Amino acid sequence: MSPRPGFVLEVDRSTPPTLFWHGENFRLERLPIGSRVVYPPEPLVPLADPDAAIAHALEHPLGDSAPLSALLHPGMKLTIAFDDVSLPLPQMEAPDVRARVIEAVLDQAAAAGVDDVVLIAALALHRRMTDDELRHALGRRVFDAFAPNGLLWQHDAEDPDAMVTLGETDEGELVAISRRAAESDLLVYVNINLVAMDGGHKSVATGLASYDSIRHHHNVKTMQHSRSFMDRHHSELHTSNWRMGRLIAQSLKIFQIETTLNTATFPDQFGFLNHREWEWGLKDRAAFHTVRAALDRTPAPLARQIFHSVRAPYRLTSVQAGEVEAVHEQTLDHLFAQQLVPVQGQTDVLTMGLPFISPYNVNSIMNPILVACLGLGYLFNLYKGKPLVRQGGVVILSHPTPWAFHPVHHPSYIDFFEQVLAETTDPLEVEKRFEESYARDPWYIHLYRTSHAYHGVHPFYMWYWCAHALDHLGAVIVVGGDRAAVRRLGFKPASTLADALEMAEDVVGRDPTITHLHTPPLLIAEVS
Amino acid sequence: MISSLLAGRRIAVTGATGFLGTALVERLVRAVPDCEIVVLVRPGRRTGAAERTAREIIRNDCFDRLRNELGDAFEGTIARRLVTIAGDVGTDGLGLSEADGAILASCDVVVHSAATVSFDAPLDGAVEVNLLGPSRVATTLLELAARHRPPGAPLPHLVAVSTAYVQSGRHGDAPEQPVADDRFFSLPDWRGEVAAARRARSEADGQSREPDRLAAFAKAARQELGAAGRSLLAERTERLRTDWVSDRMVELGRARAQALGWPDAYAYTKSLGEVALSQNRGPLPTTIVRPSIVESALAEPRPGWIRGFRMAEPVIISYARGLLRQFPGVPEGVVDVIPVDLVTAALIAVAAHPSTGTPDAPPPIFQVASSVRNPLRYGKLVRLCEEWFNERPLYDQRGEPIAVATWQFPGRGKVQGELRRAAKVLGLIERLASSLPVRGERAEQIVEIEERKALAERALGYVELYGSYTETEARFSIDRSLAFFSSLDPADQAEFCFDPGVVDWERYVTEIHLPSVVRHARVRTSPGKRVSGTREERARRAILSKEPHVAVFDLEQTIVNSNVVESYAWLATRHLEPLRRAQLTLSLMLEGPRLLAVDRRDRGDFLRSFYRRYEDAPVERVREDAWELFSDLLLTRSFPGAIQRVRAHRALGHHTLLITGALDFVVAPLTPLFDEIVCARLGEHDGRFTGEMVSTPPTGEARATLMEQWAARHGLGLSSTVAYADSTSDLPMLEAAGMPVAVNPEPKLAAIARRRGWPVERWARTAGGPRNLLAVATRRLGPRTTLAPKLTSPQEHR
């Protein structure tokens, strides 16, 4: 039986309660009759032999590029950059796609007699990965070969000696990237394209760039004009990255490798997450009730630890290599083939259950700013065409939103939440008054460089990510969240979904249309 | 007319800085226009007598009325009519200079109102002032007269203020007669009492210096302050010793008084003082005025004027704050209260009419009391208070109204028993609780227990002290006073009224006295949060002001919830096999209590012995591992509030300094956070640590000194220093700092901070961080994936 595509269910009398993610737990909610639930497509059948597919892609590049083997020669300087721990979500079962691809690339490099090879985790302004995370992403073999010899680097956007300025785009955007990458004879970038935003020119132009470069597209104006940033042809974020990427490509040979995964997001014991509620079998029901009962009795930190140790049984659906733009166009086709779900018309109220994870809290805690970003930045933007929710509509998020932060990973978030959001939640105001001081703060820079902290400016980006949604929406309501934290975000807290829907009526009027985004697994709504 | 009788006279007043004395001086200045006033003031330790007069008498709000009436002429009038002489009634000859002696000799009237009015004064102090004071004044006046006055010139008139309660032991009528005439009362020889009191002082002092006692004081000081350093502990020990002597003298005073039939040392010494005076006054015309319990003014200088917190006030306020739920007494008993202006009026009237009796006859006695003419029943007073506070409750710290209890008028024994038991139980809980290793909020809860114990003890103190005054059955007759009052000119009667019959008790209690007491007590009388901010809030504002400051931080428990043992455990387990890691962790855990004990005893010794464990550790590897330690232990266990505070200081341009016993490589990653770090450093040999410290971090007093030097280097004084610390081992630094802040204090420091009004910060680890209970490193397999950046190592302590 071939996998079924995504699906929009209309809730009727016989519809069982709908599963909402709620952080490290779940809620079963009865949606009003007539509500719609958007389900993700079932996982596509993966490539039967991923290693062969990778080898094939390396030898049959797309666009204006020679095969990888032809680009390698003795005495050359080779740099392999790879996506960091923010992809995929959750982390996938070993072997990670990056490990497979990088091993294939290294095999060819060894065969070609290349001995100056450096691996760089393309952190941009993310936190440094831990050894365990690197070992998982790269596989033990690669890690053990490179790390002890100091050849496994993590991008340091604040090391003036390790960065180089390549110039400015026609729009005056400064382009500064990793010196090692820029001075290499070949840069291979290994992507996991979990969502449509990832990859393309953004890989290098953002992943290996400096704050002074990134600030040209990571800002409120750009984000408000990225509709959405999951739709690269309508995304100002990507347009800027493309300008920069083309400038980089003028002086640096890049061999882009992009990979797509299917939607097999959760292992068997969480099978109910992959299935639709009315199709839950005995096993799914038993699993759900067991998990719920266990989670209700588990302290939040332990539940978090359990969830973050979940490894996704993702499987490779495509791999393409070669010239950046040609590769990326095909990647998008593969992505949309897996994730696109057609939806008829917009809705007054959009509900979503937020899971325990977002790109920036892997092995960490989802703090309130990340809650906002996951809901209003990521999930809200999972659309092509028009947003799922109409202009002036309401988004209802379900998440416990604890007033809690990871002291090592998110130090500037703590201060941002306590000092910036206490003053204003308006993204433009936030940007104008506070960004510079956080971005240049020597203590945050120190923590970014030497510890495992996100850059001082990172919480600002999370807030800018929400800018389009904040601009578009009439109200945001959080169900079951810490009231103080939710208010600090500028949202409204509600105890139950029923209360939240009542509150939403004050904004959008009586008997609103309601749509629930049943994700993850991920999908992209193509709204007509 | 009184004012014409006193016109052109010189009137000396002793005890002018007291409640009654201030009122008397003010009234003389205001109501007797043509007299001159000489105040005999004891010079303070740092202030001269004249300065005390200006500060403690003239600046008192008692003079507000006069200041308003006279306007610009006020200062001139005071300068013209008020003369200060320096003297002490506790010294023979009053310690007068020749010039001051001459001034006193020229006085026509001397009102002696200096006294130790505290009911629980140490025995010897009360004896010197209350018993011997009047006689000293009398003999000094006689000597001065002999030297300075022409023979035959009239002697000055001595008006001695005593107390009606010298007769408190009587049942029923207590006439205006000398105590010596009391048929039912046998008096001891006052000379013997004086000698015994002086002897008792030197004996108590001797006892306090016994080795056992000194050891007990030292132990108690250590219990209170912990490892606060030698000098603070010594200071505290000495304080405890002198307090003990003082308490002993109080106890002896009370015991002696009660053994002889007086309620307390005050009444006892005052009684014998009258006896001594009548024996020593010689030919000096003398009058004794005995007021009962002097309370706030009925009308002069203004209704409700009061000075100091006296007898009924603390009891009333304790009741209104819900602290005193019961007070002994019989409802139909009489509380003999007299407004202060009635007493000053009586004194002035008496001063204007020197006694005409012969030197052999006992000096005439005037009682100024209300119990016969216009009794205030105890039950009525309590009812009025209850009603008043029910309508106008005080508010607690949260802004909630406090409900007052309905007094049941139990017996004194019952109340005392209950309070004693409560204090004992609370004391036991406190002792148990304060030995628990808790900090922050829980430590402050223990402080609350301690405070409740202190309150119970204070309540007990009130009951023991004042209980007898609500049970007094003596009725102080005022026949002579009233007769004298009737003999006065009607204008004088209006101006200087001392007939207690004029007092409307209900009005006096509810409209005059209680509002005045509440105003004086500085208690909360309105709900909700304070607008102006508490002392603590003001302190907080000062800490983060734009003025230049130096801010000194301790590390452990102030910025991070970790310690040197954990840092060591983390570094030591970093490269071990799992089994060895478990062994090492277990052995450190087992050693924990012993290490803690050493640490408590002497921080320096502890560090020295503990750091020996680093002997032979490879320097390079440890320094590199320390960067992961930074993330895994220090930052994970950091208090974001503390880091924000350091950064806030720096943002304000303040200089920040970290003083810690931690090792340089452990705190190296904190370098960018502070302007300077003072820490410990180990010696190195052949790439390995020697285990010996080459620079010892300052502890105890040395930290205070370092803070001072460092402030001086930035051109600042101690008043510009802010010190953050968590334990009493930093007490010298906190005490020295201009702005001390207790961070997550342990119980001892919490108690001290509460008493001193120091701001307390409750900085906690953020919710959401990893909770690794044991400081064990994740095992490291290869080198760091990126090299530690080039960072300057923290400066070592010079």
8 A C-beta contact, residue A324 and residue A254: yes
* A120 interface with B at CB cutoff 8 Å: no
Residues A167 and A109 in one domain: yes
Q: Which domains does chain B have, with CATH numbers?
A: 1-180+264-292+336-372+477-493 (3.40.50.720), 189-259 (no CATH), 308-334+374-470+499-529 (no CATH), 539-761 (3.40.50.1000)
Per the listing, tokens 């106008």 go with B392
Q: Count of CB atoms within 10 A of residue A69's CB? A: 13
Among candidate residues B43, B117, B35, the one with its CA nearest the CA of residue B81: B35
Using DSSP's 3-state secondary structure scheme, residue B467 falls into helix
Confidence band (pLDDT; 50, 70, 90) for B359?
Answer: low
Structure tokens at B760: 């307390």
Cβ-proximal residues to B381 (8 Å cutoff; 6+ apart), any chain: B335, B505, B509
- Which helix (H) or strand (E) element contains residue A49? none
Q: Is there a contact between B771 and A148 if contact means CB atoms under 8 Å apart?
A: no
Residue A312 lies inside a defined structural domain of this protein: no
**DSSP assignments along B470-510, one per residue:** HH--EEE--HHHHHHHHHS-HHHHHHS---GGG--HHHIII
3-state SS of A128-176? CCCHHHHHHHHHHHHHHHHHHHCCEEECCCCCHHHEEEEEECCCCCEEE
Q: Which pLDDT does position B774 carry in this prediction?
A: 66
Using DSSP's 3-state secondary structure scheme, residue B67 falls into helix
Residues A30 and A76 in one domain: no
Shortest Cα–Cα distance, A196 to chain B (Å): 30
Q: Is there a contact between B785 and A153 if contact means CB atoms under 8 Å apart?
A: yes
Nearest to B765 among A134, A402, A407 (CB): A407
Q: Which pLDDT does position B69 carry in this prediction?
A: 87
Among candidate residues B266, B268, B242, the one with its CA nearest the CA of residue B121: B266
**Residue where a domain stops, chosen among A261, A278, A305:** A261
Residue A305 lies inside a defined structural domain of this protein: no
Q: Which pLDDT does position B559 carry in this prediction?
A: 94
What does chain B come to in residues?
798
* B769 interface with A at CB cutoff 8 Å: yes
8 A C-beta contact, residue B558 and residue B733: no
Over residues A152-166, the pLDDT tens digits come to 999 999 999 999 999
Searching chain A, which residue's CA lies closest to the CA of residue B633? A408
Gap between the Cα atoms of B240 and B232, Å rounded: 12
Residues A70 and A17 in one domain: no
* B651 interface with A at CB cutoff 8 Å: no
Nearest to A156 among B637, B673, B786 (CB): B786
Window B:670-729, CB contacts with A under 8 Å: 672-673
CA angle (B577 as vertex; B574, B580 as ends), nearest 5? 95
Using a CB-CB cut-off of 8 Å, the residues of chain A touching B637 are 407
Q: Across residues B129-145, what is the average pLDDT?
A: 88
Residues A135 and A117 in one domain: yes
Nearest to A443 among B631, B673, B768 (CB): B673
8 A C-beta contact, residue B197 and residue B123: yes
With a cut of 90, say whether residue A491 has pLDDT above it: yes
Among candidate residues B67, B14, B54, B4, the one with its CA nearest the CA of residue B38: B14
* B76 interface with A at CB cutoff 8 Å: no
Gap between the Cα atoms of B360 and A445, Å rounded: 95
Residues A110 and A34 in one domain: no
Residues A31 and A85 in one domain: no
* A126 interface with B at CB cutoff 8 Å: no
8 A C-beta contact, residue A152 and residue B785: yes
Average per-residue pLDDT in chain B?
A: 83
Shortest Cα–Cα distance, B766 to chain A (Å): 6
Helices (H), B324-391: 340-352, 378-391
Q: Which pLDDT does position A106 carry in this prediction?
A: 97
Lowest average pLDDT, out of A320-329, B122-131, B420-429, goes to B420-429
* B643 interface with A at CB cutoff 8 Å: yes
8 A C-beta contact, residue A502 and residue A421: no
Q: Which pLDDT does position B787 carry in this prediction?
A: 38
Average per-residue pLDDT in chain A?
A: 95
Q: Is there a contact between A450 and B635 if contact means CB atoms under 8 Å apart?
A: no
Residues A12 and A71 in one domain: no
Confidence band (pLDDT; 50, 70, 90) for B183?
Answer: low
Q: Is there a contact between A147 and B769 if contact means CB atoms under 8 Å apart?
A: no
Q: Which pLDDT does position A359 carry in this prediction?
A: 95
* A449 interface with B at CB cutoff 8 Å: yes
* A411 interface with B at CB cutoff 8 Å: yes
Q: Which pLDDT does position B440 carry in this prediction?
A: 65
Structure tokens at A355: 């899971």
Window B:337-376, CB contacts with A under 8 Å: none
**Residue where a domain stops, chosen among A261, A279, A312:** A261
Domain range for A255: 50-261
Q: What's at A300, amino acid-wise?
A: A
With a cut of 80, say whether residue B683 has pLDDT above it: yes
Shortest Cα–Cα distance, B785 to chain A (Å): 6
In 3-state terms chain B splits into helix, strand, coil percentages (rounded to 5) of: 55, 10, 35
Query: What are the strands, taking DSSP E only, across A11-158?
Result: 18-21, 26-29, 36-39, 77-83, 116-122, 152-154
Eight-state DSSP code of residue B634: I
Among candidate residues A34, A124, A102, the one with its CA nearest the CA of residue A347: A34
Percent of chain B having pLDDT more than 70? Answer: 91
Over residues B256-283, the pLDDT tens digits come to 888 888 888 888 888 888 888 888 888 8
Q: Across residues B279-306, what is the average pLDDT?
A: 86
Residue A271 lies inside a defined structural domain of this protein: no
Q: Is there a contact between B783 and A402 if contact means CB atoms under 8 Å apart?
A: no
Q: Which pLDDT does position B795 carry in this prediction?
A: 37
Residues A244 and A353 in one domain: no
Using a CB-CB cut-off of 8 Å, the residues of chain B touching A452 are 631
* Residue of B632, B634, B786 to mutate, testing the A interface (most A Cβ within 10 Å of its Cβ): B786
Over residues A272-313, the pLDDT tens digits come to 888 899 999 899 999 999 999 999 998 888 899 889 999 999
Structure tokens at A360: 């920036």
Structure tokens at B713: 């280097």
* A99 interface with B at CB cutoff 8 Å: no
Residues A349 and A447 in one domain: yes
Q: Is there a contact between B780 and A148 if contact means CB atoms under 8 Å apart?
A: no
Residue A2 lies inside a defined structural domain of this protein: no
Lowest average pLDDT, out of B588-597, B761-770, B777-786, goes to B777-786
* A55 interface with B at CB cutoff 8 Å: no
Confidence band (pLDDT; 50, 70, 90) for B796?
Answer: very low
Shortest Cα–Cα distance, A452 to chain B (Å): 7
Shortest Cα–Cα distance, A62 to chain B (Å): 33
Using DSSP's 3-state secondary structure scheme, residue B283 falls into coil
Using a CB-CB cut-off of 8 Å, the residues of chain B touching A454 are none
Using a CB-CB cut-off of 8 Å, the residues of chain B touching A128 are 785-786
Residue A400 lies inside a defined structural domain of this protein: yes
* A404 interface with B at CB cutoff 8 Å: yes
How many domains are there within chain A? 2
Structure tokens at B427: 């004391």
Among candidate residues B631, B618, B710, B703, the one with its CA nearest the CA of residue B666: B631
Window A:330-359, CB contacts with B under 8 Å: none
With a cut of 50, say whether residue B765 has pLDDT above it: yes
Gap between the Cα atoms of A189 and A178, Å rounded: 13
Q: Across residues A418-426, what is the average pLDDT?
A: 95
Q: Is there a contact between B769 and A367 if contact means CB atoms under 8 Å apart?
A: no
Using a CB-CB cut-off of 8 Å, the residues of chain B touching A152 are 785
- Which helix (H) or strand (E) element contains residue A177? strand A174-178
CA angle (B429 as vertex; B428, B434 as ends), nearest 5? 105
Residue B5, burial from CB neighbour count under 10 angstroms (0-12, 13-18, 19+): middle
8 A C-beta contact, residue A91 and residue A362: yes
3-state SS of A277-306? HHHCCHHHHHHHHHHHHHHHCCCHHHHHHH
Residue A489 lies inside a defined structural domain of this protein: yes
Gap between the Cα atoms of A405 and A408, Å rounded: 9
Over residues B558-603, the pLDDT tens digits come to 999 988 888 888 888 888 877 887 888 888 888 888 888 887 777 8
* A160 interface with B at CB cutoff 8 Å: no
Which has more pLDDT, A455 or B251? A455
Residue A333 lies inside a defined structural domain of this protein: no
**Residue where a domain stops, chosen among A261, A292, A325:** A261
8 A C-beta contact, residue A476 and residue A395: yes
CA angle (B270 as vertex; B265, B275 as ends), nearest 5? 130
With a cut of 70, say whether residue B357 has pLDDT above it: no
CA angle (A40 as vertex; A38, A45 as ends), nearest 5? 160
Using a CB-CB cut-off of 8 Å, the residues of chain B touching A147 are 782-783, 785
Confidence band (pLDDT; 50, 70, 90) for A1?
Answer: low
With a cut of 90, say whether residue A485 has pLDDT above it: yes
Over residues A104-158, the pLDDT tens digits come to 999 999 999 999 999 999 999 999 999 999 999 999 999 999 998 889 999 999 9
Using a CB-CB cut-off of 8 Å, the residues of chain A touching B675 are none
Read off the pTM.
Answer: 0.77
- Which helix (H) or strand (E) element contains residue A41? none
Using DSSP's 3-state secondary structure scheme, residue B99 falls into helix
With a cut of 60, say whether residue B790 has pLDDT above it: no
Q: Across residues B671-676, what is the average pLDDT?
A: 94
Over residues B732-752, the pLDDT tens digits come to 899 999 999 999 888 888 888
Shortest Cα–Cα distance, A309 to chain B (Å): 14
Q: Which pLDDT does position B534 carry in this prediction?
A: 65
Q: Is there a contact between B766 and A414 if contact means CB atoms under 8 Å apart?
A: yes
Q: Is there a contact between B638 and A407 if contact means CB atoms under 8 Å apart?
A: yes
Q: Is there a contact between B781 and A131 if contact means CB atoms under 8 Å apart?
A: yes
8 A C-beta contact, residue B736 and residue B721: yes
Alpha carbon separation from B355 to B150, B157, B175, B345 (Å, rounded): 21, 8, 18, 17
Alpha carbon separation from B125 to A521, B52, B204, B252, B290 (Å, rounded): 86, 21, 14, 12, 21
Q: Across residues B772-778, what is the average pLDDT?
A: 66
CATH number at A471 reads: 3.90.226.30
Confidence band (pLDDT; 50, 70, 90) for B147?
Answer: confident
Work out whether strand B157-161 and strand A152-154 pair parallel, antiparallel, or are unpaired. Answer: unpaired
Q: Is there a contact between B766 and A404 if contact means CB atoms under 8 Å apart?
A: yes
Shortest Cα–Cα distance, A340 to chain B (Å): 35
Work out whether strand B157-161 and strand A7-10 pair parallel, antiparallel, or are unpaired. Answer: unpaired
Confidence band (pLDDT; 50, 70, 90) for A17?
Answer: very high
8 A C-beta contact, residue B748 and residue B733: no
**DSSP assignments along B22-48, one per residue:** HHHHHHHHHHSTT-EEEEEE---SSS-
CATH number at A152 reads: 3.40.50.11440
* B767 interface with A at CB cutoff 8 Å: yes
With a cut of 50, say whether residue B792 has pLDDT above it: no
Gap between the Cα atoms of A263 and A249, Å rounded: 32
Residues A76 and A202 in one domain: yes
Gap between the Cα atoms of A412 and B704, Å rounded: 33
Alpha carbon separation from B193 to A420, B202, B261, B276, B597 (Å, rounded): 74, 15, 14, 11, 50
Q: Is there a contact between A406 and B768 if contact means CB atoms under 8 Å apart?
A: yes
Over residues A39-64, the pLDDT tens digits come to 999 999 999 999 999 999 999 999 99
* B766 interface with A at CB cutoff 8 Å: yes
Searching chain B, which residue's CA lies closest to the CA of residue A140? B781
Confidence band (pLDDT; 50, 70, 90) for B384?
Answer: confident
Using a CB-CB cut-off of 8 Å, the residues of chain A touching B781 are 131, 144, 148
* A415 interface with B at CB cutoff 8 Å: yes
* Residue of A451, A452, A454, A482 to mutate, testing the B interface (most B Cβ within 10 Å of its Cβ): A451
Number of A:B CB contacts under 8 A?
Answer: 92
Confidence band (pLDDT; 50, 70, 90) for B126?
Answer: confident
Which has more pLDDT, A212 or B453? A212
Q: Across residues B474-497, what is the average pLDDT?
A: 86
Over residues B514-547, the pLDDT tens digits come to 888 887 777 777 666 555 556 777 888 889 999 9
Residues A28 and A105 in one domain: no
Among candidate residues B568, B669, B561, the one with its CA nearest the CA of residue B611: B568
Q: Which pLDDT does position A3 carry in this prediction?
A: 84
Buried b (16+ CB within 10 A) or exposed e, B405-424: eebebeebeebbebbeebbe
With a cut of 80, say whether residue B382 has pLDDT above it: yes
* A436 interface with B at CB cutoff 8 Å: no
Q: What's at A236, amino acid-wise?
A: E
Structure tokens at B677: 């770090």
Residue A272 lies inside a defined structural domain of this protein: no
Q: Which pLDDT does position B746 carry in this prediction?
A: 82
Q: Across residues B485-490, what is the average pLDDT?
A: 87
Cβ-proximal residues to B177 (8 Å cutoff; 6+ apart), any chain: B365
Window B:375-434, CB contacts with A under 8 Å: none
Upstream peptide bond of A342 is cis (omega within 30 degrees of 0): no
Shortest Cα–Cα distance, A407 to chain B (Å): 6
Residues A350 and A442 in one domain: yes
